[in-house]
A and B are shown apart, each in its own frame.
Chain A
Amino acid sequence: MAEKVLMKGNEAIAEAAIMAGCRHFFGYPITPQTEVAAYMAKRMPKIGGTYLQAESEIAAINMVYGASSAGVRAMTSSSSPGISLKSEGLSYMAGSDLPAVLVNIQRGGPGLGGIRPSQSDYFQATRSSGHGDFHMIVLAPNNVQEMFDLTIEAFELADQYRMTAMILGDGMLGQVMEPVDISRGEAASNVTKDWALTGTKGQRKRNVINSLYLEAEELEMLNLKRFEKYAEVEKIARTDNYLTEDAEVIIVAYGICARIARNAINEARKKGIKAGLIRPVTLWPFPKNQLKAAAEKAKAFVVVEMSMGQMIQDVELSIRCSRPVHLCSRTGGMVPTPEAVLEAIENAAQAERS
């Protein structure tokens, strides 16, 4: 029988990480993700793991860099302003092909912003998590169960592709409590990490974890090779669709916005508007093929997001602007209402008719 436990989203992430075999967590407090750290601080000492409160987000990500270099599953979590500080470490980890899981429970910005939920770090997560040519895997849960499931998956993907994988949530998902089936947790897979720094023991040549390449040709070659890997990673792109088969108006939304959109879609259907939802589960790689296929049947798209319009660019790129794409957004920590989304659907449908 499934074992269901009532958990906060942030706690589900922490428990999933432990089930995935993560025994090294390095954190720094910031609202609204603090429960991840608190959970780890409570559990890790009991299971022989490490919870270490770093002196800064910068130190925390570099501790992850060190632990990952040693070949263990390591994790850090933060919220928007803290993720900005981690960007240096993320770039170095990408340059050194180190796997790790990073959690961003987004809050409003820019700057210190606020502590209410937001999705305004989309560009940062999917476009530029630091300097240089690189990508992170970005997974976007929309309920507490997924915060659990996708965290486990994030560790698997990170190890498989030797990349950082981010769980991109928001303050609402982090704080909401829902029943979670934790029996789905799996033990860590056995990816061989022969590159890890564990001491040569006199048995092998030294391993070096490094991102410095002074020869431009060499660095270009490595970057090109990394992008060949990214092309492989593109295959993991996926969506969760709702009533899209006959949909004329397609909502594209992720995270908490996708749940709000479902309510609005149900209401729209009652009013005779064929609306449906495409929810990207992977934000990088973005499910562009799925969007492109949907554009062949749909008449219009409405992107719902808690930012001034960031994911909308990926939607427009994916469908090559072949259909009108409308934006329904709130910012600064405000959450769109189902009524506002319904209105956006009605307006999009109306625009098509006229």
Chain B
Amino acid sequence: MEIVFQRPKALSDVSSHYCPGCTHGIIHRLVAEVLDELDLTGKTVGVAPVGCAVLAYNYFECDMAQAAHGRAPAVATGLKRANPANIVFTYQGDGDLAAIGTAETVHAAARGENITIIFVNNAIYGMTGGQMAPTTIPGQITQTSPYGRDPKYAGFPLKICETLSTIDGTAYAERVSVDSVKNVINAKKAIKKAFEYQIAGKGFTIVEVLSTCSTNWGLEPVEALTWLRENLIPYYPLGVYKDKEVF
């Protein structure tokens, strides 16, 4: 019998800790499929963040480092500089990348560091129980914005792809979503392109993936996908923000 669908080899055969309805599993799978298709697993080193994806080191069948909160791009820099032949990626959430790790992210981009960042944006802190993130949208209720995020009081969300696309060292920045089959397919294309750019030595690449947090959004999994589609995508438009092939 012909096998038409199976677990990617780059993904470990273990149960994941993610909540039901969370799209981290899809994004992990996409990264793993890309590692398989490009035959990269044996030369790849991944960097796990602090937050929901901290245990990413359990799930990818490549060498993995776990970084301090927000420091993954700096750790990835050290790994890549020590061994430029390795493919190095970080897998980070919005609290990790867009708050405590803003400096590390911006400067890794500014250096044109030849690494790939998978940035999972679900507009909330997940692991710590649903607090306001830098990417929490105006009006969004979280544990620490109980009346809805008011930009006059709490400031505006950070638009990471838009910001990083202004930096010369950024080779590729695209925002994708995993709320539908079509978008999942696009997300994979973007992730693959980012790794291909790294292989080609083009510089800093980031794929921002709009993701759900059913648990902390307080929504059923399907409702969460709808909420993402109706609220996050309008605020964080999908698309390519920087592509050195194009510009």
Residues of A within 8 A of B (CB): 24, 26, 50, 52, 54-56, 58-60, 62-72, 74, 88-89, 92, 96, 197-203, 206-212
Contacts and interface: CB of A to CB of B under 8 A. Distances in A.
Interface in B43-67: 43-45, 47-48, 54-55, 57, 60-67
B238 interface: no
Interface stretch (B76-84, B153-161, B212-220): B76-84
B78 A210 contact: no
A66 B63 contact: no
B62 A206 contact: yes
A63 B81 contact: yes
Contacts of B42: 199-203
B43 A67 contact: no
Given A199-B45, A207-B64, 16 more contacts: A24-B78, A52-B81, A52-B111, A58-B74, A58-B104, A59-B104, A62-B68, A63-B81, A66-B78, A67-B81, A69-B82, A70-B83, A197-B64, A201-B43, A209-B64, A212-B54
B202 interface: no
Contact of A208 (B66, B67, B79, B103): B66
Q: Which 5 A-B pairs have the closest CB atoms?
A: A66-B78, A70-B82, A62-B74, A67-B78, A55-B107
Contact of A55 (B64, B79, B81, B104): B104
A6 B27 CA distance: 57
Contact of A70 (B55, B62, B79, B104): B79
Contacts, number: 142
A224 B228 CA distance: 46
Query: Residue among A24, A26, A69, A92 with the most chain B CB within 10 A?
Result: A69
Nearest to B69: A88
Query: Residue among A50, A52, A65, A203 with the most chain B CB within 10 A?
Result: A65
B64 A26 contact: no
Given A70-B83, A71-B82, A210-B57, A55 B103 contact: yes
Contacts of A59: 71, 74, 77, 103-104, 107
B64 A24 contact: no
A52 B84 CA distance: 14
Given A67-B78, A206-B63, A62 B71 contact: yes
Given A55-B107, A199-B42, A207 B74 contact: no
A26 B108 CA distance: 13
Interface string B105-145: 01100010000000000000000000000000000000000
A63 B60 CA distance: 22
B120 to A, nearest CB: 18
20 contacts: A50-B82, A54-B74, A55-B104, A58-B71, A59-B107, A62-B67, A63-B75, A63-B81, A66-B79, A67-B78, A67-B81, A69-B65, A92-B67, A197-B86, A199-B43, A200-B41, A200-B63, A206-B62, A208-B57, A208-B66
Contacts of A208: 57, 63-66
A50 B82 CA distance: 8
B63 A198 contact: yes
B37 to A, nearest CB: 16
Contacts of B80: 66
B104 A206 contact: no
Contacts of B48: 210
A202 B61 CA distance: 10
Contact of A65 (B54, B67, B106, B111): B67
A67 B103 contact: no
B75 A207 contact: no
A24 B79 CA distance: 10
B86 A68 contact: no
Given A62-B71, A63-B75, A201-B42, A50 B81 contact: yes
A13 B76 CA distance: 26
